[in-house]
Structures are given as C-alpha cells and as structure tokens.
Amino acid sequence: MSINRIFITLAALLLTLFPNARAAAQGKLGAAKSIRCTFPTITTGSWKDGKPEAAVKPASLVLEFESINTDEGSAQLKGGYGTYDIIVRLAGTYLHFIQAFRDGPLYTTTVFEMESTKGKLRAVHSRHEYYPTALPGFTSSPEQYYGECEIMN
C-alpha cells in the first residue's frame, strides 16, 4: 500500500470518527453556525434603449444567516419580515447561500474565506430579479451588493 493511500484512508477514518474535524478541515466557514453580513455598496443593472447599463451607489443592506448546517445544506435567513429557510453550500473556501423564490427571483450570497478588515470576510450578494416598473424600496432590477461578513458563533 502506498504512503499516499495510507494518508487518504487515515484522513477518511478520522473525518468519520470525528465530525468536528471535518469542519476544522474546511476552515472558518465550515464551522460557522451564524453569520452577519453588511453591504455598503450596490451596483444596479438596467437596459436603456436595449443596451445594458450599471450604476454604483451606497447601500445599507444587512443580512443575518443562522442555523447554518453545511452537512445538510440548510440555513435560515433572518429578515425584516420573518425567517426564511434557504439552501447553503460549502465549496472549498466559498460559502454560498441560495434563496430561490417560487415566483421567479433568485438571491445568492457568497462569503469568501478571504479576510477584508478586522477578521471579517469578503462577500457579495446578488439579486436576479426584473420588473419593468420600479417600485421604491423594492428590488425591481438586477442588483449586486459588495461587503463583508462576520462569523458570530
């Protein structure tokens, strides 16, 4: 048996016997149970005369993810109108939160295991939604927010 095969077998055995070791092996994001994100910058997309445009402006979006379980692929998004069950996927050094609405829109948040400031991690939040008429206070065109997240466990 080769030395590589021995190490792989040993690692698989340890991860099976010690589930917390799996989260540790996946870094900070793999162990996160609660994350709070702030997004101070937004880019909105639109089409003028059939051509795509984008505008960057300040934002003040805060998202709180709780009960994060990367093994089950579940989490909860705490919002102003309640708590929503969402999908979570850990892929390497990326933690993805996915909220797919029954009536069409798709929201995603990705936290990167890359520090921004004071232990916080870089993040992006995207809203794939479009309505021909803009309603103040509601998402009516594609949006992408840029900010950072803090693990709250």
Report which secondary-structure segment, H or E, holds 135.
Answer: none
Predicted TM-score (pTM) of the model is 0.80
Give dist(CA 153, CA 141) in Å, integer: 34
48-62, 103-117, 123-137, 139-153 — which is least confidently predicted? 123-137
In this structure, the number of other CB atoms found within 10 A of the CB of residue 43 comes to 15
Q: E-assigned strands of the chain?
A: 35-48, 51-69, 74-79, 82-91, 94-100, 106-115, 121-128, 143-151
Q: Give the tokens for residue 47.
A: 């089409």
**Residue 18 pLDDT grade (very low, low, confident, very high; cuts 50, 70, 90):** low
Does residue 95 have a pLDDT over 90? Answer: yes
Which pLDDT value is given to residue 123?
A: 98
Query: Of 139, 109, 131, which Cα lies nearest the Cα of 122?
Result: 109
Which pLDDT value is given to residue 15?
A: 54
CB of 39 closer than 8 Å to CB of 109: no
Sign of CA dihedral 72, 116, 105, 51: negative
State pLDDT tens for residues 23-54: 444 689 999 999 999 999 999 998 889 999 99
Which residue matches tokens 């797919």? 100
Which pLDDT value is given to residue 24?
A: 47
CB of 153 closer than 8 Å to CB of 31: yes
Does residue 68 have a pLDDT over 60? Answer: yes
Query: Strand 121-128 and strand 143-151: pairing?
Result: antiparallel
In this structure, the number of other CB atoms found within 10 A of the CB of residue 37 comes to 22
Neighbour-count burial for 85-98, b at 16+ CB within 10 Å, e otherwise: ebebebeeeebebe
